[in-house]
C-alpha cells in the first residue's frame, strides 16, 4: 500500500519543534487542505509521547479545555522523561483560547516543562486575531496553502489541465470522474463550511445573504476586473460599495476570493476596480454545469481559468513575503498581474493560447523601466514550469 502523500509543511513543523528556544508552531490555511493530516504525520515521526486534542465539538469548549490538555501533556512528559508533542486542532473554537495558550506556554517557560505545542486552525480570521493580540513573540507561523500542481501531480497523477480543472483541494480526488459529486463536495463541504463557520460566525456581517451573493458573483468573473458599481447592479439589497469592499476583504482572508487592487506607486493612486481572483480553481468549476471537455473547448473560459490560476498561485505562495499582488491598466494597455514590494516590480502577462497583444507589458516597462517582465504560457515560461515554482523562485 502506498504511504500517504507528505507535504513539505510536515518537515517544517518538525524542524520548528526541534529548535531551541522552542516556540509554538501555528499552522493555518484554508479548510480541507490537509492540516490535520499533516499534524498526524508530524506525530507519527515524533520521537516521544504525543497528545492530540480537537476542539471541533458541538458546543465550543472553554479555556479549561486547553488547561486540562496542557496538564495531561506535562504528566506524559514527566512519566517518560521526554518532550511531549501537544497538538490542539481547531484551537480557535475554544473560548479565550489565545489567553489560555499564553498562560500555559509562559508557565512552561518558568517550569522548564518539555511540552512542544502545535496549534491548528482553519479559521485564519480568528487565529490571526488571537496570535496578534496575545501570542506575539511566542510562535512560528506555518502557512498551509491550497495544493500546488506538483503536489497533485505526484499524489494523484493529475496532468496540468486536470489540476486546472479540479483545483487544489485534495478531497476532490476521491470523486474521480464523478463531476456532480465533486461539485457538491466543493459547494457544501468547503464553501458553505467556510461561509457559515468561519466568516459569518466570527466577523460582524450585517447582510449574510449579500455576502453569499457576492461570492457567487465572483465565481462567474474569474480573473476579471469588475467595478463595485457594476457588482451593485447585479446584487439584491447590495447596500453600498464600502460594504461590498469589506465583504470582499473577508472572503479574501478566508482564502476564497480576493479583489486585487491596481498597481500604483502611491497610496493615493491605488483606488480602482478590483480584479477578482479565486484562490482555488475548484471554486470556479464547481459552480459551472459543463464537463471538462466542454469547458476545455471554450477558449475564452479556459483562458480566464488559466489566468486565474496564475493569480491564485501568486496569492497562495507569496503569503507572508511582504509583497502585494495587483494589476495595471493605462488606457487600453493592461498587465495581468504585478508583484510589488520585493525590489523591482514583477509584471506578468498570461498567454494561454488566445491571441493577445503584449502592448500592455511594453507600456508598463516603458513607464517603469526597472520592472521585470515575465510572459507565462505560450511564447514565454511554460505553464508547468511556472506552476512548479515556489515563492523564492518567483521573486527571483
- Confirm whether 180 is domain-assigned: yes
Are 123 and 261 members of one domain?
A: no
- Confirm whether 139 is domain-assigned: yes
Are 154 and 129 members of one domain?
A: no
- Beta pairing class for 333-340 and 372-377: unpaired
Q: List the domain range (segments joined by +) for residue 98.
A: 8-143
User: Cis peptide before 222, with omega less than 30 degrees from 0?
Assistant: no
Are 53 and 159 members of one domain?
A: no
What are the pLDDT digits (tens) for 179-224?
999 999 999 999 998 898 878 766 788 888 889 999 999 999 999 9
- Confirm whether 2 is domain-assigned: no
Residue 85 contacts by C-beta under 8 Å, 6 or more apart in sequence? Answer: 17, 42, 43, 46, 48, 49, 50, 51, 116, 118
Are 256 and 309 members of one domain?
A: yes
Are 177 and 280 members of one domain?
A: yes
pLDDT of residue 325: 96
- Confirm whether 1 is domain-assigned: no
Q: Is 25 helix (H, G, I), strand (E, B) or coil?
A: strand
- Confirm whether 240 is domain-assigned: yes
Residue with cell 489566468: 307
Are 163 and 137 members of one domain?
A: no
d(CA 122, CA 145): 11
Domain count, the chain: 2
- Confirm whether 3 is domain-assigned: no
- Indicate the Cα dihedral angle 186, 187, 191, 196, nearest 10°: -140
- What is the number of residues in the chain? 396
Phi and psi dihedrals of 109, rounded to 5?
-65, -35
CATH number at residue 42: 3.40.50.300
pLDDT of residue 128: 64
Q: H or E stretch including 339?
A: strand 333-340
Are 54 and 102 members of one domain?
A: yes
Last residue of a domain, one of 95, 119, 143: 143
pLDDT of residue 33: 94
- Confirm whether 336 is domain-assigned: yes
Q: Where does 32-178 have alpha helices with state H?
A: 35-45, 63-80, 97-111, 124-134, 149-156, 160-166
d(CA 158, CA 151): 9
Are 229 and 253 members of one domain?
A: yes
- Confirm whether 242 is domain-assigned: yes
Are 174 and 237 members of one domain?
A: yes
Cβ-count burial 231-240 (b if 16+ within 10 Å, e if not) = beeebeebee
Last residue of a domain, one of 84, 119, 143: 143
Last residue of a domain, one of 78, 110, 143: 143
d(CA 260, CA 224): 10
Are 115 and 228 members of one domain?
A: no
Are 185 and 97 members of one domain?
A: no
Are 368 and 268 members of one domain?
A: yes
pLDDT along the chain (396 residues), means of 10: 81 90 88 93 94 84 94 93 93 88 92 89 64 78 94 96 96 95 95 86 82 93 88 74 88 93 70 90 96 94 96 94 93 94 90 78 95 93 94 81
Its sign, for the CA torsion 46, 51, 54, 60, is negative
Q: What percent of the chain has pLDDT over 70?
A: 92
Amino acid at each position: 500500500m502506498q504511504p500517504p502523500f507528505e507535504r513539505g509543511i510536515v518537515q517544517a513543523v518538525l524542524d520548528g519543534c526541534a529548535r531551541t528556544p522552542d516556540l509554538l508552531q501555528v499552522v493555518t490555511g484554508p479548510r480541507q487542505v490537509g492540516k490535520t493530516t499533516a499534524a498526524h504525520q508530524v506525530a507519527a515521526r515524533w520521537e516521544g509521547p504525543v497528545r492530540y486534542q480537537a476542539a471541533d465539538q458541538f458546543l465550543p469548549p472553554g479555556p479549561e479545555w486547553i488547561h486540562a490538555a496542557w496538564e495531561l501533556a506535562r504528566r506524559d512528559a514527566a512519566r517518560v522523561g521526554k518532550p511531549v508533542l501537544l497538538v490542539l486542532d481547531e484551537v480557535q473554537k475554544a473560548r479565550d483560547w489565545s489567553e489560555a495558550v499564553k498562560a500555559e506556554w509562559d508557565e512552561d517557560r518558568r517550569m522548564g516543562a518539555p511540552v512542544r505545542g502545535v496549534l491548528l486552525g482553519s479559521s485564519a480570521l480568528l487565529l490571526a486575531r488571537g496570535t496578534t493580540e496575545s501570542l506575539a513573540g511566542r510562535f512560528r507561523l506555518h502557512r498551509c496553502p491550497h495544493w500546488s500542481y506538483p503536489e497533485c501531480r505526484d499524489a494523484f497523477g493529475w496532468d496540468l489541465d486536470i489540476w486546472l480543472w479540479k483545483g487544489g483541494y485534495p478531497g476532490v480526488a476521491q470523486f474521480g470522474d464523478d463531476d456532480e459529486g465533486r461539485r457538491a463536495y466543493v459547494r457544501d463541504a468547503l464553501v458553505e463550511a467556510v461561509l457559515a463557520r468561519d466568516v459569518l460566525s466570527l466577523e460582524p456581517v450585517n447582510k449574510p445573504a449579500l455576502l453569499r451573493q457576492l461570492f457567487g458573483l465572483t465565481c462567474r468573473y474569474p480573473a476579471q476586473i469588475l467595478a463595485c458599481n457594476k457588482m451593485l447592479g447585479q446584487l439584491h439589497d447590495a447596500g453600498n460599495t464600502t460594504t461590498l469592499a469589506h465583504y470582499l476583504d473577508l472572503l479574501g482572508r478566508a482564502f476564497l476570493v480576493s479583489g486585487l487592487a491596481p498597481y500604483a506607486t502611491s497610496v493615493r493612486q491605488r483606488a480602482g476596480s478590483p480584479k477578482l481572483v479565486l484562490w482555488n480553481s475548484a471554486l470556479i468549476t464547481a459552480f459551472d454545469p459543463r464537463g471538462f471537455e466542454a469547458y476545455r473547448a471554450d477558449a475564452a473560459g479556459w483562458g480566464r481559468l488559466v489566468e486565474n490560476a496564475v493569480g491564485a498561485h501568486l496569492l497562495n505562495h507569496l503569503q507572508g513575503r511582504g509583497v502585494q499582488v495587483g494589476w495595471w491598466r493605462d488606457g487600453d494597455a493592461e498587465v495581468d498581474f504585478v508583484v510589488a514590494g520585493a525590489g523591482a516590480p514583477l509584471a506578468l502577462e498570461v498567454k494561454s493560447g488566445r491571441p493577445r497583444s503584449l502592448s500592455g507589458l511594453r507600456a508598463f516597462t516603458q513607464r517603469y523601466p526597472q520592472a521585470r517582465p515575465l510572459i507565462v504560457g505560450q511564447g514565454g515560461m511554460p505553464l508547468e514550469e511556472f506552476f512548479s515554482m515556489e515563492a523564492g523562485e518567483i521573486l527571483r
